[in-house]
């Protein structure tokens, strides 16, 4: 059973859709798309609704309960589809359990309660999370988040659990120190030195809890005005080939107009910044994984073009893109050309000893559809430069998008999601 509306939660009227009904319907349809059983999907849906508590019963006719930056329309739920060549795609769901709490201290306590309930259900330890409590849950915790969790939805009803924490909980000026100390406590005393020296912020530190073969600690780094060369330099500790990083960067972000001055004609992400994620396993101070996250929604006109870019990337590495197409249909029936942001991020993921994967982050759009960005003309697909990819030898590189113009920073929203 799901909880009844809590105190202060308005009850939905007859025929009114609630947040819980909206995301549960999406989860059921997505589960069917990726082949999860109805029983597994129902169990994961129950956990999701329980973690949102009374907020799950909030009518969608009301504005969002808080300005969460998990998604552009302030929905507290985001889905993602992780695809690897030769394997079925993995469905994940990202949730802010303390979404309805304005105070970050209360939000953090609600988040910890949700994680401990999962630990009791699935029999995993919260010891690592507990060891960091004073760093990430101070008495005067600051925003923009306290705790998010993600479930890697697996057959059999036992997911992988990830927890995302805010290194700026004690102030952004202390974020680097918080990340360094957290890594030390978790057994990675030398790891901070391997993070990018040009970091412009640390939006998240993440922990794998529960059923993982090689649990990771992950540090996310923000990179304003990133270029393809920058992305290649940041991936040097991974098994990534520069040619593949470069191809992914331009396919995901498009061919942006030069934005520098003084003769600098480098193509850069001048709107919402890219993120990189650096993962550590087994106490090794050197990163065992690298991920490049491109906020594709800020560099396309609409979701029709975002899907075209994602399709090209998946095809390039030998992955069937039809599951992603069906997944978008499971989320919404609106025409893709009528909005932008349903595909929020595209990510290229490397982990030591594993084939690379591509992850598409998908918005719930519970409250609002972001209108198309009319300053971007519709893209024209150009012939590919015919280079061999070490990601998938024998496959030709896919086409890239024709030049777009991106002359100003994103002003529609101050939000930026990430898992």
Q: Tokens in use for 250?
A: 């331009």
pLDDT score recorded for residue 42: 98
**What is the full DSSP assignment across 322-379?**
HHHHHHHHHH--S-GGG-S-SEEEEEEEEETTS--EEEEEEE--SS--PPP-TTSPPP
pLDDT score recorded for residue 48: 98
pLDDT in tens, the chain (419 residues): 334 344 445 555 556 899 999 999 999 999 999 999 999 999 999 999 999 999 999 999 999 999 999 999 999 999 999 999 999 999 999 999 999 998 999 999 999 999 999 999 999 999 999 999 999 999 999 989 999 999 999 999 999 999 999 999 999 999 999 999 999 999 999 999 999 988 899 999 999 998 898 899 999 999 999 999 999 999 876 778 888 999 999 999 986 543 444 344 578 999 999 999 999 998 888 999 999 999 999 999 999 999 999 999 999 999 999 999 999 999 999 999 999 999 999 999 999 888 899 999 999 999 999 999 987 766 533 222 222 333 333 322 222 222 222 222 222 222 334 54
C-alpha 152/C-alpha 90 separation (Å) is 7
Q: Are 360 and 321 in contact (CB under 8 A)?
A: no
CB atoms under 10 Å from CB of 396, counted, come to 14
Q: Are 83 and 173 in contact (CB under 8 A)?
A: no
pLDDT score recorded for residue 262: 38
Q: How many CA atoms lie within 13 Å of 295's alpha carbon, on the beta-carbon side?
A: 23
Residue-wise burial string across 27-64, b where 16 or more C-beta atoms lie within 10 A, e elsewhere: bbebbebbebeeebbebbbebbbbbbbbbbbbbbeeeb
**Long-range Cβ pairs for the range 190-193 (8 Å, 24+):** 190/285, 191/217, 191/219, 191/280, 191/285, 191/286, 191/287, 193/285
Return the CA Rg of the chain: 20
In terms of Cβ atoms closer than 10 Å to its own Cβ (0-12, 13-18, 19+), residue 324 is buried
C-alpha 277/C-alpha 238 separation (Å) is 11
pLDDT score recorded for residue 241: 85
**What do you get for the CA distance between the two ends of the chain, in Å?**
28
pLDDT score recorded for residue 374: 83
How many angstroms from the chain centroid is the CA of residue 41?
21
Q: Tokens in use for 279?
A: 């993962």
pLDDT score recorded for residue 211: 85
Q: Tokens in use for 168?
A: 């700026």
Which helix (DSSP H) or strand (DSSP E) does residue 281 occupy? Answer: strand 274-281
CB atoms under 10 Å from CB of 339, counted, come to 20
Question: Residue 95: helix, strand or coil by DSSP?
Answer: strand
Instruction: Look at residues 189, 5, 174, 164 and name the one whose alpha carbon lies nearest to residue 94.
Output: 164
């Amino acid at each position: 059973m799901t909880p009844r509306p809590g105190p202060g939660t308005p009850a939905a009227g007859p025929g009114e859709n609630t947040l819980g009904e909206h995301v549960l319907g999406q989860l059921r349809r997505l589960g069917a798309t990726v082949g999860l059983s109805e029983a597994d999907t129902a169990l994961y849906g129950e956990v999701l609704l329980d973690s949102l508590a009374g907020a799950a019963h909030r009518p969608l006719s009301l504005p969002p309960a808080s300005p969460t930056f998990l998604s552009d329309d302030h929905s507290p739920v985001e889905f993602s589809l992780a695809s690897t060549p030769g394997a079925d795609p993995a469905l994940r769901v990202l949730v802010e359990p303390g979404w309805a709490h304005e105070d970050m201290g209360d939000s953090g306590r609600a988040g910890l309660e949700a994680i401990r309930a999962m630990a009791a259900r699935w029999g995993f330890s919260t010891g690592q999370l507990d060891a960091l409590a004073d760093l990430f849950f101070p008495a005067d915790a600051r925003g923009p988040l306290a705790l998010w969790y993600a479930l890697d939805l697996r057959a059999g009803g036992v997911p992988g659990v990830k927890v995302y924490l805010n290194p700026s909980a004690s102030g952004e000026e202390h974020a680097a120190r918080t990340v360094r100390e957290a890594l030390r406590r978790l057994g990675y005393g030398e790891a901070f030195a391997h993070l990018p020296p040009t970091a412009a912020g640390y939006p998240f530190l993440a922990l794998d809890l529960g059923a993982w073969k090689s649990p990771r600690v992950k540090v996310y780094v923000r990179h304003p005005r990133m270029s393809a060369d920058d992305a290649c330099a940041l991936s040097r500790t991974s098994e990534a080939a520069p040619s593949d990083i470069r191809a992914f960067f331009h396919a995901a972000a498009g061919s942006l107009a030069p934005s520098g001055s003084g003769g600098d004609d480098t193509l850069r992400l001048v709107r919402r910044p890219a993120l990189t994620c650096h993962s550590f396993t087994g106490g090794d101070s050197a990163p065992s994984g690298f991920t490049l996250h491109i906020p594709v929604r800020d560099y396309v006109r609409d979701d029709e073009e975002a899907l075209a870019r994602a399709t090209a990337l998946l095809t390039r590495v030998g992955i069937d893109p039809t599951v992603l197409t069906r997944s978008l249909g499971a989320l919404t029936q609106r025409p893709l050309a009528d909005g932008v942001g349903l595909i929020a991020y595209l990510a290229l993921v490397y982990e030591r000893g594993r084939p690379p994967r591509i992850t598409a982050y998908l918005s719930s759009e519970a409250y609002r559809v972001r209108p198309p960005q009319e300053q971007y003309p519709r893209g024209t697909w150009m012939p590919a430069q015919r280079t061999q990819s070490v990601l998938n030898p024998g496959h030709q590189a896919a086409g890239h998008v024709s030049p777009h113009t991106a002359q100003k920073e994103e002003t529609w929203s101050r939000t930026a999601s990430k898992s």
